[in-house]
Chain A
Amino acid sequence: MAPVIRVKDLTQGNGQKNILDGLSFEVYGGECFGLFGVRGAGKTALLHILAGIDRFKSGSVEILGCDIRKSEAFKRRLGLVTQERSLFRDLNVYENLEFISVLKNTEKENVLAAVKRFELEDFLGEPVGTLDAGIYQRLSLACALLNMPRLLIADDLISDVDTYSRHVISRELKTFLSGGGTCVWGFSRIEFCAEMNRIGWLENGSLTLYTPRDASEQWDSRLRSPERQNGDDDD
């Protein structure tokens, strides 16, 4: 099976320091790939490259069979939830869904279905700037999934989100994955790794692959190590 994402020798940096230093990995269809790292590890930089937002220094990135330096065709089958609030501030909840659905060239029925699935009925007229984190993330994911993408890129999807919104988001994410969708999910709290199939641990510009259990154990062993106890804590 051809990978949905194929990254080879990816290097990204500003000035002399490389944030991403020759990364190579692949993500397969139906997989939920967790991208773990402490703050400043370069998760957002990598996710922005995968989403085609930022250019990169060297290497190659193929998404859904497209070399992203040559073609943007993969973006038609992409959904994105960013760490920073990135919905249209000047529009309310419904207008955001409607506007993004037009830009993604999807039908209005998808908007109505998304409102229902993400339980946004009570917030449709609210400006997005005033939404609680949980509702905002539900809306962000709803917008990202409007075009029924094959690949979802999500950065910090459920951090600081209320329990009910987390439940709605997890439910819809599972539905998306069970339908054959692929997800790359950036996160910095190790307890979330249970929701994923594989973990890519990003540290000092390099990526190490783990199973969720191994990643969790690795984190625990680091916390127990003398250096950490001496206060060298990243997060």
Chain B
Amino acid sequence: MMMIRQCLAIMRREFFYMWRDKGLRCILLAGPLLGLLLFYATYSARVLKDIPTAIADLDRSGASLELARDIRNTENLKVVACPDSFDELNELIKNGKAVVGIVIPENYGKDVSLHRQTRVEVIVDGSNMIYATNAASAALSVTRTLGARTGINTLVARGIQPLQAKEAYQSVDFREEAWFNPALNYACFIVLALALNIWQQCCTLAACMTIVGETGAGSWYQIKSLGLSKFKLFFSKSAAQVITFMVISLPVFFLAFVIFKIPLRCGFPVFFLFNLAFVIALHSVGTLASGIARNAVNSTRFGMLVALPSFILSGYTWPLEAMPHYLQVIVKILPQTWYFQGINFLTFKNPDWAFMTRFFLAFFAIAAACYGAAAVIVSRRL
């Protein structure tokens, strides 16, 4: 009874501490929410449409004008300029006024009418990867359709029946289908992950104060003179922090899933449990940092050193498999890697328990190792 009373008092004091520290309160409450709002606004277009396109029609024949018209009617390309020469097109792409450049060569109409091979050049500005990938994909879908139509016309002109010509071209029907995110919606893919990245950074910052925040304060003398068990103290503090981290994530989830309708394929209880397991593992890393560090500033630095690059290293935006093997091993030490990988599966695919067990085990192993090491350090140093 006494133990429960003391644990509750320590937890209550920890809540007070986090609430009354204005800076910490603002970071924890506003950081993740503001992140979500900003990122949602940023990706509100969801897919990249109206990609600026310039068509340099060097032929100006009926066939080339028809081709230009077809390109204008394409869903994701927006024709913004029609330069008269290749050099002008080059300038437009260099200045960023166009991302896609299409060059219809001289004699295009003549070659098409004579059923000779001709080459329409599609140039994509590769300096912005996101733009380039979308532009290439949009341009590819246009050129493939137009190329097929021209081929069918050529076969018809050579005396083959239109239906046969069409069948000849479509004998192998390659059909693309994106599963789990059919529209390749950026908002669904990245917004929640970016907001949760802010959230995990804020949580890491707070967790880095678990031990050093207490031992660095004058009140540590009171705690030591009371003979209070260190386990009881830090367990209660940690419990209060973990509860706080989970509570501040709830408005983010509400906004993301209920208001912004970001998909969540798994049920919320599973998602919540997954977040809880992650928070415990993350808190253990922060606690270890706060145990190793000699002061609060160093502890925060260490925490940020882990938290800031962890999202990029997690394999969420660039696949883990494409990283060097040694890096793949190193990043698996971080709970963030497992978290962001798991978030992707849970939001898009709703995997079964057997699949998700490895993620929970990883969190458990990280938490056991970090809390264990922190306990050894605390018992030796304090």
Contacts and interface: CB of A to CB of B under 8 A. Distances in A.
Interface of A: 48, 51-53, 72-73, 75-76, 78, 80, 82, 84-91, 95, 98-100, 102-105, 143, 153
A90 B222 contact: no
Contacts of B2: 105
B94 interface: no
Contacts of A76: 227
A69 to B, nearest CB: 14
19 contacts: A48-B221, A51-B225, A53-B221, A53-B224, A53-B225, A73-B227, A75-B227, A78-B225, A80-B221, A80-B225, A82-B218, A86-B219, A86-B221, A88-B219, A89-B218, A90-B17, A91-B16, A100-B222, A105-B6
A55 B228 CA distance: 16
B21 interface: yes
A89 B16 CA distance: 11
A87 B225 contact: no
B222 A52 contact: no
Nearest to B226: A103
A75 B226 CA distance: 6
B20 interface: yes
By size class, the interface of chain B is: 20 to 34
B178 interface: no
Contacts, number: 70
B5 interface: yes
Given A86-B219, A89-B219, A102 B5 contact: yes
Interface in B196-232: 217-228
A90 B12 CA distance: 11
Nearest to B13: A99
B9 interface: yes
Nearest to A103: B226
Interface in B1-55: 2, 5-6, 9-10, 13, 16-17, 20-21
Contacts of B5: 102, 105
Contact of A52 (B9, B13, B219, B224): B224
A102 B6 contact: yes
A90 B18 CA distance: 9
B219 A87 contact: yes
B225 A75 contact: yes
A91 B226 contact: no
A86 B220 CA distance: 7
Nearest to A155: B221
Nearest to B219: A88
Nearest to B228: A103
Contact of B222 (A72, A80, A102): A80
Nearest to B224: A53
A79 to B, nearest CB: 8
Q: Which of A80, A102, A103 has the most CB of B within 10 A?
A: A103
Contacts of B217: 89
B16 A90 contact: yes
